[in-house]
Amino acid sequence: MTVTIVGSQLGDEGKGALVDLWGGNADIVVRYQGGDNAGHTVVEDGEEYKLSLVPSGAVRDKTGILGNGCVVNPRTLFDEIDALRERGLDPDVRVARRAHVIMPYHRVLDGIEEEAKSDDDLEAGTTGRGIGPTYEDKVGRRGIRVGDLLDSDVLRDRLEYVVPQKRAVVEEVFGLKAGEEFDIDALHEEYAAVGRRLAEEDMTVNAGDFLGRKLDDGAELLFEGAQGTSIDIDHGIYPYVTSSNPTAGGASTGSGVGPTVIGRGEVVGIVKAYLSRVGTGPLPTELDGDDEDLADYIREKGGEFGTVTGRPRRIGWLDVPMLRHAARASGFTGIAVNHLDVLAGLDEVKVGHAYDLDGERLETMPATTERWAECDPILKEFDPWPEVDWSTVAEDGYDALPANARTYLEYLSDEVGAPIYAVGVGPDRADTVELVDPFA
């Protein structure tokens, strides 16, 4: 069977903790979208591993697949694999031959375009990893795929077509000087060598075929979504989005496993008990102005600083219309709520229950970000819950949670129409109250 983990908000919901917890029961962990813009810390046997591309299961002797929906920076991939090997691990990572390659010029273009957009406040606040420009080339049918790296002649043909165009964009559209990242010979030399290493280490697969055979043999697959629903290219707050589909549909198109197979499995939405946002754009439930002290407090307590970029995250109350939207778009069968402990001990706990848009009450997100920016949250207040010994709660289970925290969780579960599978009450994998194991 399959279990798909999806971020319900703006990324950084703490998906990693659940991927760690449930990935233990999986045979294969599959990433289906995004690239090294994701940040993920895994703690195993007291050792901390920071990964941005390699699926976390690789730390736990699982096969990790980067599906065709991913964009792969081979420099990051090899750096992460080499670092794991230096620490005595032997990660089994396979990359889809259909996945697209992030080339050095993509990262340069990411920076240039963000800078250009900033004049009109339209920059997405990207991670600068070249994600958008690589997906652009994929859709524009001028991308370079992992399979192309395996054939030096094909690679050269692709580079000779695309690099002059990229150079022209830099020089003629933006009036800048194109550097070594736009040198066809240098690129060919480096990336043909990447292809040779991928081949020598037998790292590439026809992902859909590989996964289909594993499923036939009874393997358990965990699909690890990166980022979150509200930064999905189709369902998110365009244009302040990433360029892929973190929603559950992406698990199918990004891996080659059919939607009926994914749909027969579990789709678990990961929810942070409040909202955090790295990046620009509106945020109706943002704690700003008079609430800045509260935002600072939650940011510090929740460690809300970007894993990839180190940027402080913006903080807001939970946005429930956003969660209803996410639950529908991915068809959640369950939810996991993280960081519940961070809200403990506050004087007040609120959520944005609905929006007021020009006098109209909305229960879910409007389709344009401009209208979303005009939404005033209709807040609902909950009785706060106290600080308790969260490790004891994690050991004792759901009923040991403070009663007011349970009221909050049960409200959320009702609003999204999905049962609670897990509650995160601290940063470690052990600090999770598990109600349902989706693989069971």
Q: Please report whether residue 131 would count as binding ligand IMP according to CB under 6 A.
A: yes
Q: Please report whether residue 271 would count as binding ligand IMP according to CB under 6 A.
A: no
Per the CB < 8 A criterion, the answer to whether 226 and 117 are in contact is no
Per the CB < 8 A criterion, the answer to whether 357 and 374 are in contact is yes
For residue 97, which phi and psi values (nearest 5 degrees)? Answer: -65, -20
> Cα(283)–Cα(191) distance, rounded to whole angstroms?
41
Nearer to ligand IMP, 4 or 333 (CB): 4
302 among the known binding-site residues?
Answer: no
Residue 353 known to be catalytic: no
Per annotation, catalytic residue among 138, 166, 325, 353: 138
Per-residue x/- track, 166-205, ligand IMP (CB under 6 A): ----------------------------------------
Q: For ligand IMP, which residue of 66, 72, 96, 231 counts as binding (CB under 6 A)?
A: 231
Neighbouring residues of 295: CB distance < 8 A, sequence distance ≥ 6:
286, 287, 288, 314, 315, 316
**What length does the chain have?**
440
Residue 40 known to be catalytic: yes
Per annotation, catalytic residue among 20, 36, 40, 100: 40
DSSP state of 399: G
Q: For ligand IMP, which residue of 9, 11, 71, 273 counts as binding (CB under 6 A)?
A: 11
Per the CB < 8 A criterion, the answer to whether 69 and 254 are in contact is yes
> Cα(381)–Cα(401) distance, rounded to whole angstroms?
19
16 among the known binding-site residues?
Answer: yes
Q: For ligand IMP, which residue of 4, 134, 227, 245 counts as binding (CB under 6 A)?
A: 227
Minimum Å gap between C-beta 278 and ligand IMP is 5
Q: For ligand IMP, which residue of 127, 245, 285, 369 counts as binding (CB under 6 A)?
A: 127
424 among the known binding-site residues?
Answer: yes
41 among the known binding-site residues?
Answer: yes
Q: For ligand IMP, which residue of 8, 204, 242, 247 counts as binding (CB under 6 A)?
A: 242
Q: 20-79: which residues touch ligand IMP (CB under 6 A)?
A: 37-39
> Cα(203)–Cα(53) distance, rounded to whole angstroms?
14
Per the CB < 8 A criterion, the answer to whether 332 and 6 are in contact is yes
Nearer to ligand IMP, 38 or 393 (CB): 38
Q: For ligand IMP, which residue of 6, 99, 124, 412 counts as binding (CB under 6 A)?
A: 124
Q: Is the dihedral of CA 24, 416, 341, 318 positive or negative?
A: positive
Minimum Å gap between C-beta 126 and ligand IMP is 4
Antiparallel, parallel or unpaired: β 266-272 and 334-338: parallel
308 among the known binding-site residues?
Answer: yes
Q: Please report whether residue 279 would count as binding ligand IMP according to CB under 6 A.
A: yes
Bridge-partner residues for 334, per DSSP?
Answer: 268
Nearer to ligand IMP, 11 or 427 (CB): 11
Q: Which stretch binds ligand IMP (CB under 6 A): 161-169, 238-246, 255-263, 429-437?
A: 238-246
Residue 117 known to be catalytic: no
> Cα(230)–Cα(232) distance, rounded to whole angstroms?
5
For residue 101, which phi and psi values (nearest 5 degrees)? Answer: -100, 130
Tell me the CB-side half-sphere exposure of residue 415, using CA atoms within 13 A: 23
Per the CB < 8 A criterion, the answer to whether 285 and 277 are in contact is no
Minimum Å gap between C-beta 314 and ligand IMP is 10
> Cα(286)–Cα(306) distance, rounded to whole angstroms?
17
Nearer to ligand IMP, 102 or 155 (CB): 102
Nearer to ligand IMP, 265 or 279 (CB): 279
Q: Please report whether residue 129 would count as binding ligand IMP according to CB under 6 A.
A: yes
Task: Give whole-number Cα distances, 132 to 108, 114, 135, 255, 439, in Å.
Answer: 11, 10, 5, 19, 34
Supply 440's token pair. Answer: 């069971």
Q: Please report whether residue 323 would count as binding ligand IMP according to CB under 6 A.
A: no
> Cα(342)–Cα(232) distance, rounded to whole angstroms?
26
Phi-psi region of 11 (alpha: psi -120 to 50; beta: other; left: phi over 0): left
Minimum Å gap between C-beta 67 and ligand IMP is 17
> What is the set of active-site residues?
12, 40, 138
Residues that bind ligand IMP (CB under 6 A): 11-12, 37-39, 124-127, 129, 131-132, 226-227, 231, 240-243, 278-279
In the annotated binding site for GTP, the residues are 11-17, 39-41, 313, 339-341, 424-426
Binding residues: 11-17, 37-41, 127, 141, 227, 242, 307-313, 339-341, 424-426
